[in-house]
Amino acid sequence: MLKLLMALVFLTPLCFMQNMWWMVQSILFLLTLVFMGASVSNSFFGNISYFLGCDVISFGLILLSLWICVLMITASESVVRVQNYSGFFLLMVLMLLILLYCTFSTTNLFMFYLFFESSLIPTLFLILGWGYQPERLQAGMYLLFYTLLASLPLLVGIFYIYKFNDSLYIPLLYSLNVSQFLIYLSLIFAFLVKMPMFLVHLWLPKAHVEAPVSGSMILAGVLLKLGGYGLLRIFKVLSLSGLSFNFIWVGISLVGGVLVSLMCLRQTDLKALIAYSSVAHMGIVLGGLMTLTYWGFCGSFMLMIAHGLCSSGLFCLANISYERLGSRSLLINKGLMNFMPSMTLWWFLLSSCNMAAPPSLNLLSEISLLNSMVAWSWVTMLMLSFLSFFSAAYTLYIYSYSQHGKIYSGVYSCSMGYTREYLLLFLHWFPLNLLILKSEPCMLWL
């Protein structure tokens, strides 16, 4: 694990050399390939060093981080084209990747907290430095204060665990079982805000709308998964109190998912719509996770990976139309089938993945999450049926509203995508539909 970290650290000087943009991207592709080769297929920590290790959950999420960061560089070609501090931009992406890599692979709970918090800083710089509107300052503040305020109790909770366990090494936490409500709340709340759970989700649409395409991709692709990953790890300690209190979060996330889906149906901003749909998806993940069942854990892990690829691809599509039309409004992004006919296929493919159509990984994961929640309680069936229906409804809304209709008169007659953009979308969509053929690492990892 350390060797890959060193490779990433020594990649940083390349950012500041002339014309090294695509070189950095190619080296990151190579490192992704190397990491895939060093795969870990059992549920124990492997590839272990003094403070890094890797089991199946870490492996999937590190691979996702590497992949999304490479695709961020591919998507942000406009930064290099207009010479908008491209060296610093690359440095931010690399720093973010290094911090995420450390977050997912560390075996110590305190180090996890440290990297979990510090991944906020490069994201903030991406939003403040390369965002489009002046409101990005407000979005950055929302992001910062929501996350920081919620995660200070987590630090106290970690120290509390250390007091009783004399170790924060994750595999050694199995002997401890916390049953006090306050400790349970403090350990879990930071991750709920990061997920983001309904009621503490207000920072997410703001941050997404103001972020550049790369910021949206990393936010939707990886940073929302930090919360789920933290919960998967911390429930080793909280299984006792989880049995008593988890019904609260399942309720909130299911009802919230339905309400957010209804909000999706009245959005006119392309990016805000995709951001709200992320909240609904992560609500399902949270609900499945909180049942503490095997199906729930597997399904939530899988939906995190599927949603990372799918949502990131949709943000790329929104950005492609934004670069052509200069607007994110659905009132202007109409009739794109006339304007960019070849992109309509990609809109269709990624939208159908978003509503969990076969053969995407979303389908498999949503089936296992539905299983876990209905087995946990039959009452959830009502909200789950609404959630499934509305997720199809807002996905059809975004697809039909943006592709059909009368084209806005202020644009050119026709526009094609670049090869770079087709490759970018293909690299989102292909793994998403390929992974269902080899779903044993996702489903049978416990």
pLDDT band at 41 (very low <50, low <70, confident <90, very high): low
Looking at residue 61, what is its pLDDT? 94
Query: Is the predicted pLDDT of residue 4 greater than 80, yes or no?
Result: yes
Mean pLDDT (whole number) for 379-395:
95
Domain count, the chain: 1
As beta bridge partners, residue 106 has 52
Looking at residue 145, what is its pLDDT? 92
Cα radius of gyration (the chain): 21
pLDDT band at 49 (very low <50, low <70, confident <90, very high): confident
d(CA 380, CA 364): 19
- Domain carrying residue 411: 1-443
- Between 417 and 279, name the one with better pLDDT: 279
Query: Is the predicted pLDDT of residue 444 greater than 80, yes or no?
Result: no
Please state, rounded to an integer, the average pLDDT across all residues of the chain.
92
Looking at residue 446, what is its pLDDT? 60
Mean pLDDT (whole number) for 198-220:
92
pLDDT band at 254 (very low <50, low <70, confident <90, very high): very high
pLDDT band at 360 (very low <50, low <70, confident <90, very high): very high
Could you read off the pLDDT of 326-342 as tens digits, one per residue? 889 998 888 889 888 99
By percentage, how much of the chain surpasses pLDDT 90? 74
What angle in degrees, to the nearest 10, is found between the helix axes of 56-75 and 224-264?
60
Query: Is the predicted pLDDT of residue 43 greater than 80, yes or no?
Result: no
d(CA 286, CA 295): 13
d(CA 343, CA 339): 9
Query: Is the predicted pLDDT of residue 96 greater than 70, yes or no?
Result: yes
Mean pLDDT (whole number) for 65-90:
92
Q: What share of the chain is helix, strand, coil (3-state, %, to 5)?
A: 75, 0, 20
Do 424 and 316 form a contact (C-beta atoms < 8 A)?
Answer: yes
Looking at residue 132, what is its pLDDT? 85
- Between 446 and 390, name the one with better pLDDT: 390
Could you read off the pLDDT of 317-329 as tens digits, one per residue? 999 999 888 889 9
Query: Is the predicted pLDDT of residue 311 greater than 70, yes or no?
Result: yes
pLDDT band at 431 (very low <50, low <70, confident <90, very high): very high
